[in-house]
Every structure is written in structure tokens, then in C-alpha cells.
Amino acid sequence: MLRETRHEQLLKLLREEGVLPVGRIAQRLGVSEATARRDLTDLDRAGMLTRVYGGAVARGPVERPFAAEEAEGRAGRDAVARTAAATVEDGETVLLDIGTTTLQLARRLRGRSITVATSNLAVYDELKDDPEVTLVLLGGQVRRNYRSLVGPLTQSGLGQLYADRLFLGTSGVLPDGRVLDTTDVEVPVKQAMLAAARHVVLLATARKFPGTGTARICGPQDIDALITNQASDPGTLAVFREAGVEVTAVDAELEGRR
Amino acid sequence: MLRETRHEQLLKLLREEGVLPVGRIAQRLGVSEATARRDLTDLDRAGMLTRVYGGAVARGPVERPFAAEEAEGRAGRDAVARTAAATVEDGETVLLDIGTTTLQLARRLRGRSITVATSNLAVYDELKDDPEVTLVLLGGQVRRNYRSLVGPLTQSGLGQLYADRLFLGTSGVLPDGRVLDTTDVEVPVKQAMLAAARHVVLLATARKFPGTGTARICGPQDIDALITNQASDPGTLAVFREAGVEVTAVDAELEGRR
DNA sequence: TCACACTCGCGCAAAGACGCTCACTCGCGC
DNA sequence: GCGCGAGTGAGCGTCTTTGCGCGAGTGTGA
């Protein structure tokens, strides 16, 4: 592996984890500890991280989707979440993807007589005290920064479920309708979710057009409905409409207050 | 553990408890009191806490106004938990059953380089902030009052795991060595756990002899080791020894403090 | 005021991390 | 084929951190 590539990966790891000991860095990068140390001193000198005895800590804010996204685009997200909540009927089983938009939706689902299945640990925290909601957690390894469950256990758990409705989150939607995600490890989970639901609803605030992401989750043909803001790119929405997707665009300003 | 990580944990502990003596800080962080003192002076100089004679107090508001901990049988449970934690080696995968004894064990496993798999949601809350522990949640339906996961999802998840060690809780042990539980719905989960571990360790404080329970989980022949208190019924312990179980009886008073 | 128990800070030794040096491998150009 | 330079891994002396013992200091109760 090229050194530049390795440096990129190291910084990515560190952004996700916050702090990492040298041994674990070497292990994750597949190099010796000596090389890991060399990389660390390089990146420390370049000001990309802070070296500490025994490892390194991320410089700047740790990549925490929840903290980072919490402030920005909140009104739009809540408008989407409220509209999504209105489509859920009592008695249904809904499957909630990871992310902040689905967390917002979970808040709007409090007190409803429904079953919620999720790999979103933030949703678990939100609904764990609600006696009305039957809460089902998918299994899997805990990813602390993303507050999610991933891994083969999650996928196999999804194989045993069938939900009335899936609310899918995303990190970005391309103009041609491809739905993206940033982290590779979540992709198989999301795809297993798609297969485990009768009705697939994509939640995407205006900022998700085009948003970010490198891994493809699915295309418009896999989606039944899309709930988004009116500020979203009209061209992309048209692509979804042409693919037969029921598109609902709610205005953040009108709906955005509580 | 990295010093930076340790400092983070120390501050978190302090935010939760408000005031902490040096001894307890050292105990919770798994370091000597000397190191705890050094950390305290560092963080005091950095203005992150206020040093007082004998310990430290949080600077800023306390998050949790001191949750009332279950007093009864606590010393005995902690003695069992500490002994159990000592048998776990770094790198192992341990499976933790539901219950308060295994929760106590989880507290003792903080900061260890191990993988913890559990259906115990209290264990999840305890370890979710620990970067050292790889945490795997079994899937299943959330049982709020028992803080556990149950159901077919839990069992099938266990079918995909194989742990080095299972720490099994119980509600009661009969004189003939039958291990009991009170709730039928947990029985298949516990039995699936038995099948998913190489080494089965039963944790049972003195109060569990005979304890309560209506459903049979397993017999002595399914257990490899039993960790209990010295006050436990000698006859029952003899039954386990005859079945080839390695019985460890730790005294709550002697082990209860350090 | 005094005595006792506890805490604190310092010196020291062991363990582990660091970084320097050296040998080796791989790709490249002559 | 052969030399060359960059990059990696391993060995080894140095330095940091940690845990423990000891004398000094501090708080508490008689």
C-alpha cells in the first residue's frame, strides 16, 4: 500500500475513533509498529493529528455524525421526520436505519402502538423508556461513533425480520438517483434492510442532494417513497418520480417549528 | 490504556459522581493510587477538576445526582464479579448473561482488551463508552423491566457466535444442582448461550442457594466452573464438585474492599 | 494539645514506548 | 545485469510512564 493511502486511512481511523494506541494503528493498517510510528510523527509534524505517548489523538472534532449534524439542517430534518411519522399506522412494524434523521423520526413515534426494529442505538436510547412501543434491536457489533450495530449478526438478524415499512437514511443522493453512504461497512446492512421490508421510504433532507458518500446502497427502483425538503434539487426528484417513487417535499420553514 | 483515554474516563466518572476519593478512582480506572494522583494533579493544573484532600470534585454540574445503588447483597456480588473478572484473559470473547451479577462483572471488565457479547442492556450501557472493549449486542426484543433482549432473534444470533467463556447468571440453584430461572422466556436464550461457549462459568451469590425460580436452565454437568460466596450452602457446592465443576467460593467481607 | 490515621509527594526500579541505526526488499534507470 | 534510492522491519540504547516504599504533611477526635 502506498504511504499516502496509508496516511489517509490512518487519519480516517483516527477521526472515527478519536484516540488510538500505536499497536492498534499498526494492526489496522497492516504494517509494523515502527512504520506506524513513522507515519504518526510525519502526520504530527504536518499538524494533522496530535501525538501522545503510546498513540495519537485526533486533532479537531472527532467525526461524530450525531454531534456534527445535530445543529445543521435541523429544521429540515424535523419536517421530514414529522411527515414520515404521519405515514405510520398503529400496529405496524417499522424498520429504522441509522442516522440522525431516523432518530428524529423515532422521537416523533414516541407513544405510538407500533413495533420498531432498528440497528440505531440512538433510537434505542430514545425509545427504551417508552412502554407503548415494542422495541426490537438487531444484533451486531457496536460502532460507538456512529451509534449503530453492524456486522454479520446484524445482517442475519434482518434475514429473520419482515417489516411493514423501512425508513432508510443516506449520506447523499446523486443526480441520477443513486443512493449513497460514506462507510462501506454499513452497506450490506442497509441492503439487507431493503430486502426485509414491504415498503421502502427514503428520508433525505435537502443537504443530501448531492451530499457525500462513496458506496452505492441502491437506486430509485428500490425505493417506494421519498420524503425530502422543497429546497432539494428538482432534477433529482424528477428522476425519482419517473422511477415511480412517490415523492413528498415538505417545506422546512412552514413545518419547521414545534 | 492510553493516558488520554484514562483522563477522559476519569472526568466522566467525576461528572457522574460529583466527588470521588483517590482510592475509588484508582479502582475504577484499573491503575494504582499513585497514578490516579498524578492524573488528578495533571487535570487539576489543566483546570478540568478541583483537587481536594483525599480525592477530587467535579468542576461544573454533576450529570447524575447519584443513582441509588442496590444495597442488598452488593458486597457478595462484587466479590464474585471481581473473581470472575480475574479469570478473563486479554483477547478473549466473553458472553454475559442478563442480571445484576453479570452487570457487576462488566464494570470489572472496563478497559480490558476483550470482546463482550451480551443480551444484557445494562451491560451495554456500562460498556458503551469504553473504547477498549469490543462490544457485540445480540439482537432481540427489548424487555424493559429486565433490561434484556429476548426472542428468536436472540437465539439465532447466539447460533452465530462462539465465545471463549460464558458467565451465566441465575435466580436460584436447587440442592441437587439444578440451575433455575424465574421467567420462561429467558430459558431458551440461556440454553442457546450454553451451546455457544467453550467454557461455562456460573455466577451465583450466597442468596441464590436455593433462591427462587421455576424453570430449569441446566444441571451441574453443563457447568465448568462455579463462582460463589463462602456463605453458600455447602451441600449444594459438594454436588457441583462431584459433577466435576471447579468451585470457587470467595468471602464477601475479605474481598469486599481493597 | 496530642496522637493517630490517612494522604501526599518524592525517589527508585521495572516495564514499555520511543527513535536511531542497520539490513533487506522492491522498483527504476542505465 | 547492476547500481541506486526510497521505504519497511528489526535490534538496541534511551527516555517516559507506572507502581511501590518511605518520610513528611494534614485532618480528626480525644
Domains, chain B: 3-58 (1.10.10.10), 66-256 (3.40.50.10470)
Smallest CA–CA distance, residue A113 to chain B, in Å, is 15
Residues with Cβ within 8 Å of residue B34, at least 6 apart in sequence: none
Q: How far is CA B241 from the centre of its chain?
A: 24
Res. A70 pLDDT band, cuts 50 70 90: low
Smallest CA–CA distance, residue B251 to chain A, in Å, is 35
Please choose, from the candidates B175, B252, B177, the residue with its C-alpha nearest in 3D space to the C-alpha of residue B217.
B177
Query: What pLDDT, on the 0 to 100 scale, is given for residue A66?
Result: 53
Instruction: Identify all chain A residues contacting B152, using CB atoms and an 8 Å cutoff.
Output: 160
First-to-last C-alpha distance (Å) of chain A: 51
Taking the CA of residue B87 and the C1' sugar atom of nucleotide D29, their distance in angstroms comes to: 43
Query: What pLDDT, on the 0 to 100 scale, is given for residue B257?
Result: 33
Residue B192 has pLDDT above 90, yes or no: yes
**B78 vs A234 pLDDT, higher one:** A234
Query: What pLDDT, on the 0 to 100 scale, is given for residue A255?
Result: 43
Polymer length in residues for chain A? 258
Query: What pLDDT, on the 0 to 100 scale, is given for residue A257?
Result: 42
Query: What pLDDT, on the 0 to 100 scale, is given for residue A113?
Result: 93
Contact flag, residue A41 CB and nucleic strand C, below 7 A:
yes
Polymer length in residues for chain B? 258
Angle value at C-alpha B122, between B198 and B162, nearest 5 degrees: 20
Residue A237 has pLDDT above 50, yes or no: yes
Res. B246 pLDDT band, cuts 50 70 90: very high
Please choose, from the candidates A213, A169, A151, the residue with its C-alpha nearest in 3D space to the C-alpha of residue A81.
A169
Mean pLDDT of all residues in A108-132: 93
Residue of A nearest to B158 (CA): A153
Q: Write out the DSSP string of A135-163.
A: EEE--EEEETTTTEEESHHHHHHHTT--E
Res. A63 pLDDT band, cuts 50 70 90: low
Mean pLDDT of all residues in B171-194: 92
Q: Are strands B140-143 and A179-181 parallel, antiparallel or unpaired?
A: unpaired
Smallest CA–CA distance, residue A166 to chain B, in Å, is 18
Q: Which residue has the cell 398503529?
A: A90
Amino acid at B254: L
Helix/strand/coil (H/E/C) assignment for every residue in B82-101: HHHHHHCCCCCEEEECCCHH
Pull the grid cell for residue B247.
468451585
Tell me the pLDDT tens digit for each residue of B61-70.
776 543 444 5
First-to-last C-alpha distance (Å) of chain B: 22
Query: What pLDDT, on the 0 to 100 scale, is given for residue B252?
Result: 57
Q: What backbone torsions phi and psi does residue A114 show, to the nearest 5 degrees?
A: -135, 170
Tell me the pLDDT tens digit for each residue of B20-69.
999 999 988 889 999 999 999 999 999 999 999 999 998 877 765 434 44
Tell me the pLDDT tens digit for each residue of B93-139.
999 999 888 998 998 888 788 899 999 999 999 898 887 889 999 99
| Of the listed ranges A253-257, B2-6, B135-139, the one predicted with least confidence | A253-257
Residue A102 has pLDDT above 90, yes or no: yes
Tell me the pLDDT tens digit for each residue of A6-35.
998 899 888 888 899 999 999 999 999 999
CA distances from A22 to A30, A41, A55, B257 (A): 12, 11, 5, 35
CA distances from B64 to A78, A125, A155, B108, B124 (A): 29, 16, 36, 21, 18
Query: What pLDDT, on the 0 to 100 scale, is given for residue A258?
Result: 39
Residue of B nearest to A117 (CA): B141
Distance, in Å, from the CA atom of A173 to the CA atom of A204, rounded to the nearest integer, reads 8
Instruction: Identify all chain B residues contacting A138, using CB atoms and an 8 Å cutoff.
Output: 139, 153
Amino acid at A55: G
CA distances from B93 to B42, B163, B165 (A): 35, 5, 7
Q: Over chain B, what is the mean pLDDT?
A: 87
Tell me the pLDDT tens digit for each residue of B56-100.
998 877 765 434 445 556 667 778 888 898 888 888 999 999 988
CB contact under 8 A, B136 and A135: no
Tell me the pLDDT tens digit for each residue of A182-195.
888 889 999 999 99
Distance, in Å, from the CA atom of A163 to the CA atom of A195, rounded to the nearest integer, reads 10
Residue A201 has pLDDT above 90, yes or no: yes
pTM for the whole thing?
A: 0.74
Taking the CA of residue B23 and the C1' sugar atom of nucleotide D27, their distance in angstroms comes to: 17
Contact flag, residue B22 CB and nucleic strand C, below 7 A:
yes
Contact flag, residue B21 CB and nucleic strand C, below 7 A:
yes
Tell me the pLDDT tens digit for each residue of A76-86.
778 899 999 99
Residue A94 has pLDDT above 50, yes or no: yes
- Residue B210, preceding peptide bond in cis (omega within 30° of 0): yes
Hey, is A191 helix, strand or coil? helix
CB contact under 8 A, A142 and B135: yes
Taking the CA of residue A41 and the C1' sugar atom of nucleotide D18, their distance in angstroms comes to: 24
Distance, in Å, from the CA atom of A148 to the CA atom of B229, rounded to the nearest integer, reads 38
Query: What pLDDT, on the 0 to 100 scale, is given for residue B151?
Result: 92
Distance, in Å, from the CA atom of A235 to the CA atom of A209, rounded to the nearest integer, reads 10
Query: What pLDDT, on the 0 to 100 scale, is given for residue A49?
Result: 92
- Report the sign of the C-alpha dihedral through residues B78, B83, B87, B91, in that order: positive
Query: What pLDDT, on the 0 to 100 scale, is given for residue B67?
Result: 44
Query: What pLDDT, on the 0 to 100 scale, is given for residue B129?
Result: 82
Residues with Cβ within 8 Å of residue A83, at least 6 apart in sequence: A227, A248, A250, A255
Mean pLDDT of all residues in A34-58: 92
Res. A69 pLDDT band, cuts 50 70 90: low
Q: Which residues of A touch B (CB under 8 A)?
A: 17-19, 21, 52-55, 57, 121, 124, 128-129, 131, 134-142, 144, 149, 151-154, 156-157, 160-161
